[in-house]
Amino acid sequence: MTDDKNSIILDVRSSEEFKAGYIPEAKQLDIRNPETFMQGLESLDKVGELLCLLSIWF
């Protein structure tokens, strides 16, 4: 999806949604679990571009 080696593709959907289909290079952090989500964000490389993938259900 991106050629930039410093870019991170972040999928913030649940594990179940992620397993149903994902971008191979994506890192998954479930935004619905605030504690692990924030810990995961803190562990990401701070250099580069962050691309975020999410789905919204109404």
Domain ranges for the chain: 8-53
pLDDT, tens only, 11-55: 999 999 999 999 998 999 999 999 999 999 999 888 888 888 777
pLDDT at 1: 53
* Sheet strands side by side (includes 50-53): 27-28, 8-11, 50-53
Residue with tokens 């924030």: 38
Q: Enter the pTM of the model.
A: 0.77
Decide which of 15 and 1 is more confident.
15
Helix runs in the chain, H state only: 15-20, 34-43
